[in-house]
């Protein structure tokens, strides 16, 4: 994740999603098509959250302000190969993203489209996944790169 310094705060420009699969009965194979991005935003002194829903709609709380220029917000898109009729679910995940100066941001993987759980109707299913980034202490959170691993666990059964 990369933060860009702005007069009013900083901005997020991207995030890396890593996947982890736990096959139950059905074997599933995920392929990342698009990474989750919160776009460019800034924040004042009170912090808040920025959420990207599975449909790409961005909402904020506190004094987080989407900039609307540069990197645009978008959900993660994963192509999942699984046998037709497989029941698929994901576990909501919390992750800490670490900055170069020891600062952290909290990321929670949330909504999906199709909504979980669902039954596969074709051998390949496109899944859109959203998340929420929490900025607790913007005055103490330095701009710069924030990195971390995000594990998304797919549970598959018939």
Q: Where do the structural domains in the chain lie, given as residue ranges? A: 3-152
Tally of helices (H runs) and strands (E runs) in the chain: 0, 18
Q: Is residue 77 predicted with pLDDT exceeding 50?
A: yes
pLDDT at residue 26, as a whole number: 63
In order, the DSSP letters of 63-94 are: TEEE--SSSPEE-EEEEEE--TT-EEEE--EE
CA of residue 126 relative to chain centroid, distance: 16
pLDDT at residue 3, as a whole number: 42
* pTM for this entry: 0.77
Residue labelled with tokens 């899944």: 127
Q: Is residue 43 predicted with pLDDT exceeding 90?
A: no
What average pLDDT does the structure give for the chain? 80
For 100-142, what is each residue's pLDDT tens digit?
777 888 999 988 999 999 999 999 999 999 999 998 876 667 6
Pick the closest to residue 30 from 38, 39, 21 (CA basis): 21
Rounded distance, CA 155 to CA 11, Å?
34
């Amino acid at each position: 994740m990369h933060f860009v310094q702005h007069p009013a705060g900083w901005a997020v420009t991207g995030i890396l999603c890593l996947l982890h699969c736990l096959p139950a009965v059905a074997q599933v194979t995920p392929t990342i098509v698009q990474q989750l991005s919160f776009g460019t935003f800034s924040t004042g002194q009170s912090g808040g959250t920025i959420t990207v829903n599975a449909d790409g709609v961005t909402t904020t709380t506190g004094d987080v302000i989407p900039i609307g220029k540069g990197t645009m917000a978008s959900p993660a898109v994963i192509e999942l190969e699984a046998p037709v009729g497989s029941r698929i679910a994901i576990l909501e995940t919390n992750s800490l993203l670490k900055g170069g100066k020891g600062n952290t941001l909290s990321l929670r993987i949330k909504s999906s489209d199709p909504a979980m759980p669902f039954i596969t109707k074709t051998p390949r299913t496109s899944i859109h996944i959203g998340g929420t980034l929490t900025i607790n202490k913007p005055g103490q959170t330095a701009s710069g790169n924030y990195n971390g691993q995000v594990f998304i666990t797919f549970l598959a059964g018939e």
